Amino acid sequence: MQTLALVPHGLAAFAALTAYVRHESALTELQRQLTILVAVRDVHYGWTHHAPLAQAAGATEAQIMLLREGRIPRDLPDAEHALCDYAFEIAAGRRVAQRVADGVRAHFSPRQIVDIALLTSCSLATAALATGLEVPIEPADTLRFELEWEQQRAGGDPVPAGD
């Protein structure tokens, strides 16, 4: 977000956290995108960027729409279901219920659990900044370039044209 360039030290710190959670965490690309969608489900800017990436990472359109409605798709594998349940708890800003904590511990290492928490929190912060600073959605060609770059960095195929 170019607006943050007005505060270079803040941008550098925020960019370092964002780079870690997006590209160096111990989560799969699908797990990262599901976590982000949980956090940005009410933010048009974040949804526009990450719904196509989630689909390219393997989420179905129906799963993505359920997440937007605040529901966990029943057809997700157990680990991804536990991840979404945990991310929804964090995004809600409440103490994580014991059953949710037990579920995420059954499928993820301690590092991965912290990665989920950091990614959820960072995505919430990014969404709040985009909304509060009224960051506009980029033109279609710029958005397409960003989506292709993210997809290539994640090691997958480019997002299909028109999606």
pLDDT 10s digits, 77-129: 999 999 999 999 999 998 999 999 999 999 999 999 999 999 999 999 988 88
- For the chain, domain boundaries: 7-154
Confidence of residue 157 (pLDDT cuts 50, 70, 90): very low
pLDDT 10s digits, 12-69: 888 899 889 888 899 999 999 999 999 999 988 889 889 999 998 999 999 999 999 9
**7-154 CATH:** 1.20.1290.10
Q: Which long-range contacts (C-beta less than 8 Å, at least 24 apart) are formed by 53-57? A: 53/29, 53/147, 53/150, 53/151, 53/154, 53/159, 54/30, 55/159, 55/163, 56/151, 56/156, 56/157, 56/158, 56/159, 56/160, 57/28, 57/29, 57/30, 57/32, 57/33, 57/154, 57/156
